[in-house]
Structure 1
Amino acid sequence: MLRRNFLTLMAGTALVAVARPAFAELPKIQKKDTYKVGFAQTESNNPWRIAQTKSMQDEAAKRGWQLVYTDAAGSAAKQVADVNSMIAQGVDAIFLAPREEKPLIPAVMGAKKAGIPVILLDRNVDPSLAKPGEDYVTFIGSDFIEEGKRAAEWLTKTMNGKASIIQLEGTTGSSPANDRAKGFADYIKDHPDMKIVASQSGDFARDKGRQVAETLLQAHPEATAIYAHNDEMAIGAISALEAAGKNPGKDVIIVSIDGTRDALQAIIDGKMGATVECSPFFGPAAFDTLVKYAAGETIPPKIINTDRFFDAANAKENLASAY
C-alpha cells in the first residue's frame, strides 16, 4: 500500500495535491449485530465533554455494543497513544474527537493502516493532511464557522454596530477555535466599528477563561463586549467582570457558544446575552453512521448537526432540556 510522504509535515509544510499518490480505499467493516468500538475523548473537564461521553456510552449500552473509552486529559500525545491502544485491542472502528488538527494525523493514519475505519466527532483534523472518504469516513459535528457568524451577527445587532471586543479563544490549534474565530471575524469585517481589541486562548476552560479575562480587562478597560468560544470561558469571564467591579450584561455584553445549562441560567439572570448551541449528543448519529457505513451506504464527507440559538427570548423555556 502506498503511504503519504510525511516529510512535508515534518517540515511544517502543507501537502499539495500533486504530492498525494493513489491510495487503497478506506478500511471496510463487516456488517454484524454488535461491534467493539473505540471512543477517544480529548478531555472531561467541562459539561459539554461530559455530556458527549455520556451520549456515546448510553448509545453503546442501548445497542449492546462494547465501547472502549479513553480520556486524553487534554493531551494530544496521550490521545494518539489512546488510539494506538485501541488499534492493538482490535476494535472494529474508532470514534475520535481530535484535540488538535495536526497532532492527531498520525492516529488517523495509523488506524487506516491497521484496517480500522475512523469517524471524527465534533473536531476535525487538518484537511490538507487527511481527507474524508479517503483517510477517515466522515466528520460529524457542528458548523463552527457558522457558529462564529451567528454570535457575531447577534452581537453586532445588540451593540448597534459598535463595540470594543475581547475574544476568549478555545484550544490553540483546534478546529473549533480556528473556525469560530474565522466565522466571527468574517462577519464583523463589514462592520468597521466592531473591533476585536484583544484575543487570547482560555483553552475552553472556565478557570483559565476567568484568568485570561481578568488580564485582558485590565489591559483594555474600554472593552464593551466579550466573545467567548465556549460557555465555560464565558462564565469565567462573568466572574472576572464582577471581580473588577463591572456589571456583566450591562457594562460588558457577553456572547458565547455551546448552549449549556449554566449559560442559559446566566442569560436568564441577565449576566450573559446569548449563546449558540453546539450539541454534544453525538451517540445516535455516530452509531447510525457506522451501521450505514458497514451496510455499504455512501457516507457524506460532513454530517452537520442542527443547532439552536438561545437568548433572553427563549432561554427560560429551554433551561430544563439543557445539559
Structure 2
Amino acid sequence: MSKFICRLLAWLCLSFWAQVQAANTVSSSTEASLARSTAPSVVFLNPGYSTEPFWVSYTEFMQAAASGLGLRLRVEYAERDPLAMIRMAREAVTATDRPDYLVLVNEQYVAPRILQLAQGSGVKLFLVNNTLTSDQSRLLTENGAPPSELLGSLVPNDERSGYLMLKELLRQHGPLAPGQTLDLLAFSGKKLTPSAQLREKGLLRALAEHPQVRLRQLVYGEWNRERAYEQASQLVKRYPQTALVWSANDEMALGAMQAFEEAGRQPGKDVLFSAMNSSRPALQARIDGRLSVLFTGHFSLGGWAMVMLHDHALGVDLARHGGYDQQLDLMQSLDQARARAWLKMNPAKDYRLDFKRFSLVSHPDGERYAFSLDGLGRR
C-alpha cells in the first residue's frame, strides 16, 4: 500500500507540474499576443511605384525603424495614382481594425481630401516629405489651429537642396572667365508636387546669384527616366552648348544622361550632371564620375516619422519638441568614396540603427529631435 501511495503522489506531482508549465506557456503566449495587438499600428500610403528605387528604399528604412521601435507598420503602394491613394485612405479609416496612425505624402495635393475622410475616425494623420501647401493650410485651419486629425508633418529642406545642387555643380565646373556663360538644362518632377516646386525655387535662387548661368529650359520629367530621356533627346539638339544638367531626382538624371551620351556628349567631362536620391545606378554613376553631384538623405523621413509616432503613442507632446511642422536638413552630398560605401550597404543589415536612441520619451520637455544618418555607410 505504501508503494502505491508513493507512486500516486509522484504521479500527482508530475501532473500538477505539467499543468503549471502549460499554464505558464499559455500565459506567456497570451501576453506576447496582447503586446502585439496593443502595439501602435501605422499604415503608410506610399505614393510611388512598388518597383521605384527611391520609394522602395524609403519603405525599407521605415520598416527597419518600425521594427526597432515595436510599431506595427503596413505599407500600401499607390503606384503613382492619387485616386488610388484616396481610395486606400478611405479603406484604412473606415476599416473595423483601422490603424492608430495614417502616414501619407501630399503628392498631387491629396492631403485635404484624405483629412476630410479621416474626420471622426479617431485615426491620426502624419504628413511626410510633402506637407500642406500654404493655401491648403490656410483653408483647413480653424480658429488658428489645424484639424484635430492632423498630428504633424516632417519634411526635408527641398528648397535648400535644389539650391545646393546647382552651387555644387558650379563649384565642380570651376570659375568662369569674365563674359563667359554656361547653358543649363533643368529637369523637375511633377508640376503639382510641393517637393518639386521647392527644389525649383532653390534652383532659381542659385541662378539669381550666378547671372552667367543661362537656364535654357526647365521641363517636367515627372520623376520618370524614360520621359526625361525623350525630353533630353530633343533638348540636346536644341541647345548643343549645354554644359550643366540639373535634375530633381536620379531617375531623370539617368534618362537625360543616356540621351546626351547617344548624342556624343560625355557626362562628367563636357557636360556635368546633378541628381538627388541614392539608387544603385545613381551611386555607380557617381563612382564612375558620370554623375558629378549626388544628394541623398530624404529617403529616411519615414523612418524618423516612426520615431515621432512611437513617442506620441507614449505621451510625448510633439508640439514641445520642435513644433507642429518640422523640417530636417538631412541631405548629404556624396563624393565618390561615400557613394562607394553606400553602394555596399545592405538595407536588411545596415538600416538596423538603434532607433530608440533618437526617441525623446526619456528626455525632458524642450529637447528637439536630433536625427542623423552619420552612421550609415561607414561600417
CA deviation map 1:44-66 (0-9, x unaligned): 24211001112223333444543
Shift of 1:313: 6.1
Q: Deviations over 1:9-29 (max 9, x none)?
A: xxxxxxxxxxxxxxxxxxxxx
The question of 1:91 aligning with 2:99 is answered yes
Cα drift, residue 92 of structure 1 = 1.1
Q: Which residue of 2 aligns with 1:155?
A: 169
Q: CA deviation at 1:293?
A: 2.2
Distance 1:283 1:187, change over 3 A: closer
SS of the counterpart of 2:55? helix
Alpha-carbon distance between aligned partners in 2 of 1:256 and 1:314, rounded to the nearest angstrom: 15
Counterpart Cα distance in 1 of 2:107 and 2:252: 17
Larger Cα-atom Rg: 2
Q: Structure 1 residues 282-291 or 194-203, which shifts more?
A: 282-291
Aligned equivalents of 1:96 and 1:204: distance in 2?
A: 18
The aligned residue for residue 311 of structure 1 is 335
Aligned to 2:124: 117
CA distance 1:314–1:37, change in 2 (3 Å): closer
Distance, in Å, in 1 between the alignment partners of 2:326 and 2:248 is 22
Percent sequence identity over aligned pairs? 21
The DSSP-based 3-state class of the residue aligned with 1:224 is: strand
Deviation per residue, 1:173-209 (Å, 9 max, x gap): 1111101100011111121111110111111122222
**What's 1:74 paired with?**
80
Q: What are the superposed Cα offsets for residues 66-106 of structure 1, whole Å, 9 maximum, x if unpaired?
A: 33322111111211111111111222110102322x33321
1:157-306 paired onto structure 2 within 5 Å = 157-159=171-173, 160=175, 162-294=181-313, 295-299=315-319, 300=323, 301-306=325-330
- Determine which of 34, 38, 44 is the counterpart of 2:39: 34
**What is the TM-score with the length of structure 2 in the denominator?**
0.71
Letter in 2 for 1:156: L
* Amino acid aligned to 1:236: G
- 1:127, distance to aligned residue in structure 2 (A): 2.5
* Greater mean alpha carbon deviation, residues 58-67 or residues 222-231: 58-67
CA distance in 2, matches of 1:290, 1:129: 23
Write out per-residue CA displacement over residues 286-316 of structure 1, whole angstroms, 9 at most, x where no aligned residue.
Answer: 2221122231413321141522112346433
* CA gap 1:278/1:284 in 2 versus in 1, 3 angstroms: closer
- Residue 113 of structure 1: CA displacement? 4.4
Question: How many equivalent pairs are there?
Answer: 291
Of 134, 139, 149, which residue of structure 1 is paired with 2:146?
134
Structure 1 163/46 Cα, relative in aligned 2: closer, same or farther at 3 Å? farther
In structure 1, the residue matched to 2:11 is none
Q: Distance in 1 between matches of 2:346 and 2:254?
A: 16
Cα contact 1:140–1:305 (8 A) shared by 2: no
Gaps of 5+ in 1: 1-31
**CA distance, structure 2, for counterparts of residue 169 and residue 284 of structure 1:** 25
Quick one: distance in 2 between partners of 1:189 and 1:164? 14
Give the alignment's Cα RMSD to 1 decimal.
2.3
Q: Structure 1: how far apart are the matches of 2:337 and 2:344?
A: 15
Flag structure 2 segments of 5+ consecutive residues without an equivalent: 1-36, 348-379
Is 1:107 aligned to residue 103 of structure 2? no
Aligned to 1:9: none
CA distance in 1, matches of 2:128, 2:171: 32
Tell me the alpha carbon deviations over residues 266-299 of structure 1, each in whole angstroms, 9 at most, x when there is no partner: 1221211011113313454122211222314133
Given the alignment, which residue of 52, 61, 71 partners 2:58? 52
Letter in structure 2 aligned against 1:124: T
